[in-house]
Structure 1
């Protein structure tokens, strides 16, 4: 995850983005396999518990979606995030290979990246709109 994205957010929005990054890190990248660069989180560990583990992991993943909605992320981005969680939950529910899938498919990290990209696009749009408004004022 890129903590250095150039987005003009107020303190509350920045705090929400930090919380989302923390949840994604814990679910998808909190541990490293010794001697490798491979990281995994508690999502595949929860997936070892039949049924309830995948439901719990999906519930935790929904926290990121709720925060994104509170930040005003677009409907299409929210739908993509929900599809990521759904695919992760369905594939993760497959006995034996599900937790392995969860370790490699990092839906939560992807979802935070979707939010960051959305916020970057919105910031760029606002800058263009502001520049256009200034240009119009100058020409009048």
Structure 2
């Protein structure tokens, strides 16, 4: 298990924190990989998924794995937005967050599992609210268009 953790910590460090900037802020290769048009975020997401796959092989529960996937998806999806996403790639540090989750799980499995479940439920609630708002806005727009076309 230690061998896996050492490898995953090195990968996380390389992707998120391997370069120290003046002032102490650290960035990693994930931000630079994300600059590659078209493929960068796919490559970064693929490298990030290694940590999640290994966490699964090490027995992390679904609630922890789901939280790790959410971190990676946020990184990949926001990272794909031109310019803003490139800056976000240097700041979000999904791999570091995922390693912290895995380390916490290994130190205190029940507490981390419970906390991950609660965080996942919160993210799902926010997602459902966002979808509901989009549906309401689309309905409102359609009604406004309908009333203009057929007064």
Deviations 1:12-65 (Å, cap 9, x if unpaired)?
A: x011011111111000001111x2101100111011112200000000000000
Match of 1:30 in 2: 18
Take 1:93 and 1:27, find their aligned partners in 2: how far apart are those partners? Answer: 17
Q: Any conservation in 2 of the 1:58–1:85 contact (CA below 8 Å)? A: yes
User: SS state of the match for residue 60, structure 2?
Assistant: coil
Q: Any conservation in 2 of the 1:50–1:93 contact (CA below 8 Å)? A: no
| Unaligned residue ranges in structure 2 (runs of 5+) | 112-151
Match of 1:94 in 2: 81
Q: How does 1:110-129 map to 2 (within 5 A)?
A: 110-122=97-109
Taking only aligned residues, the RMSD between alpha carbons, in angstroms, comes to 1.4
* Bigger radius of gyration: 2
Tell me which of 83, 99, 115 is aligned to 2:70.
83
Q: What TM-score does the superposition give when structure 2 sets the normalisation length? A: 0.71
Q: What TM-score does the superposition give when structure 1 sets the normalisation length? A: 0.76
* Residue 70 of structure 1, CA deviation: 1.0
**Structure in which a larger fraction of residues adopt helix:** 2
Match of 2:59 in 1: 72
Take 1:51 and 1:79, find their aligned partners in 2: how far apart are those partners? Answer: 26
After TM superposition, which residue ranges in structure 1, 4 or more long, deviate above 3 angstroms?
A: none
